[in-house]
A and B are shown apart, each in its own frame.
Chain A
């Protein structure tokens, strides 16, 4: 068991890096996702087509290919991103592709009767979205957003392929050094479970809070 003692600190550091990248990426993709969803719903046909095209590309391409295009592909054009920057950029671009659809569906679900009521009062679209539609859409979207958060944590496992020193990276490094794959990947599994189950629980608590306050 001394392997566990030896490696738990680097695993924890890897986990912290995973969490940091996920947090930054999800925060940015949620903000951009809301704006893009609004653009898709209300911004006219051209903007809607561009956003739909983007979502289709992100969903249609394998994640690893997207990551490799950003890290290796761009380097051929003298755009040399660090592993961290490339990994983060991919998480953001990929996250936006998912967040747009979550928000579009959430806004559309609320907008019909509620949007009409806001319109009929003479509120602007921005006022209606901010005061009426988004506060309700958040509640509807909370479960999907939690699923999205956990998905992004899992997606960080791919980042070791471009050299980001995350949990997965440490587990592989540890495996080559110790020849103990069961212990190393077992520790990685525990680390991911701890992170994701904690997030799910927090999400559950949040959902119950929101439900109770309605």
Chain B
């Protein structure tokens, strides 16, 4: 495997008891590549992305993350390997999961201070710089419940970035946000992509995926149904399943049989 592959996922299968969440998914993510995973709810996208930093164990297959290997069905990896992976792979959650008892600044400082034993002053400078970069310098001393959803998610992204990750995972980072706050979070992600960060994100923002992602992966019914360059997959899906999904998402009114004309999408749709 060439060293420009950051995450190499081979034949991943995950079951919850008798139910198969997803099956036989393979995906290679190169360094600085941006991969968007899209698909209907319940397709197993969130569970899949959580396997990459082993928040969920999996049953078959293997994942190589930054040179360290996770194997399905085997005993869990050693705590040292897990921490090693998790300190290099950051994650932002759909529900933000900020620590409510700490300020925005405290949230961003905690990871480096605990997991990397970084001195407080250094962690504070770093956290402040990260918060400033996403326009939250003034909110540094606010507790999460005083922050809007968009602010909370930006703090959560800073919290992950404070660990200097090589790969960032985003699990539907904007789906809990009010529409007017989606933009500020997407902007922060867009900037990360511009800086060459390796990104894997589960998202329902098709336009954003088309603009920022290099690769789009469509998951449906627990399978990877299509994968390719973002624009190609989103504009000219090759499989029926991907086409059905994209039609429903991109033309919701028409799909319901509404007499309204389909929403104009731009691009070269017929």
B99 touching A120, Cβ below 8 Å:
no
| A135 is an interface residue with CB less than 8 A from chain B | yes
Determine the distance from Cα of A116 to Cα of B56 in the docked complex, in whole angstroms: 10
| B159 is an interface residue with CB less than 8 A from chain A | yes
Determine the distance from Cα of A121 to Cα of B108 in the docked complex, in whole angstroms: 10
B100 touching A214, Cβ below 8 Å:
yes
Task: From B26-34, B65-73, B85-93, give the one contacting chain A.
Answer: B85-93
CB of B226 to closest CB in A, whole Å: 28
| A131 is an interface residue with CB less than 8 A from chain B | yes
Q: How many residues of A contact B (CB 8 A)?
A: 17
Contacts of A123 in B (CB 8 A): 110-111, 114-115
* Known contacts A113-B93, A131-B114, A214-B143: A120-B55 contact under CB 8 Å: yes
B99 touching A132, Cβ below 8 Å:
yes
Determine the distance from Cα of A174 to Cα of B209 in the docked complex, in whole angstroms: 82
B115 touching A119, Cβ below 8 Å:
no
| A151 is an interface residue with CB less than 8 A from chain B | no
Determine the distance from Cα of A114 to Cα of B97 in the docked complex, in whole angstroms: 6
| B9 is an interface residue with CB less than 8 A from chain A | no
Contacts of B83 in A (CB 8 A): 122, 124
Q: How many residues of B contact A (CB 8 A)?
A: 26
* Known contacts A116-B55, A122-B86, A122-B87: A127-B114 contact under CB 8 Å: yes
In the complex, what residue of chain A is closest to B113 when comparing beta carbons? A131
Determine the distance from Cα of A139 to Cα of B145 in the docked complex, in whole angstroms: 16
A121 touching B97, Cβ below 8 Å:
no
B91 touching A120, Cβ below 8 Å:
yes
| B233 is an interface residue with CB less than 8 A from chain A | no
| B124 is an interface residue with CB less than 8 A from chain A | no
| A136 is an interface residue with CB less than 8 A from chain B | yes
Determine the distance from Cα of A122 to Cα of B87 in the docked complex, in whole angstroms: 5
In the complex, what residue of chain A is closest to B84 when comparing beta carbons? A122
| A117 is an interface residue with CB less than 8 A from chain B | yes
* Known contacts A136-B100, A214-B100, A214-B143: A119-B86 contact under CB 8 Å: yes
Residue in B97, B143, B160 whose Cβ sees the most chain A Cβ within 10 Å: B97
Contacts of B145 in A (CB 8 A): 214
Determine the distance from Cα of A136 to Cα of B86 in the docked complex, in whole angstroms: 23
Determine the distance from Cα of A144 to Cα of B26 in the docked complex, in whole angstroms: 48
| B163 is an interface residue with CB less than 8 A from chain A | yes
Determine the distance from Cα of A131 to Cα of B107 in the docked complex, in whole angstroms: 11
| B101 is an interface residue with CB less than 8 A from chain A | yes
In the complex, what residue of chain A is closest to B169 when comparing beta carbons? A120
CB of B22 to closest CB in A, whole Å: 19
B99 touching A117, Cβ below 8 Å:
yes
Determine the distance from Cα of A114 to Cα of B95 in the docked complex, in whole angstroms: 10
A122 touching B91, Cβ below 8 Å:
no
In the complex, what residue of chain A is closest to B115 when comparing beta carbons? A122
B143 touching A124, Cβ below 8 Å:
no
In the complex, what residue of chain B is closest to A116 when comparing beta carbons? B55
In the complex, what residue of chain A is closest to B88 when comparing beta carbons? A122
Contacts of B90 in A (CB 8 A): 120
Additional pairs, 14, CB under 8 Å, beyond known A120-B53, A131-B110 = A113-B93, A114-B99, A117-B98, A117-B99, A120-B91, A121-B86, A121-B111, A121-B115, A122-B83, A123-B111, A123-B114, A124-B114, A127-B114, A132-B110
Please provide the 4 A-B residue pairs with the shortest distance between their CB atoms, ordered closest to farther: A122-B87, A121-B111, A122-B86, A117-B97
- Can you list 29 A-B pairs with a CB-CB distance of less than 8 A? A113-B93, A113-B95, A116-B55, A117-B93, A117-B97, A119-B86, A120-B90, A120-B91, A120-B160, A121-B110, A121-B111, A121-B115, A121-B159, A121-B160, A122-B83, A122-B86, A122-B87, A122-B111, A122-B115, A124-B79, A124-B114, A131-B114, A132-B99, A132-B110, A136-B99, A136-B100, A136-B101, A214-B100, A214-B101
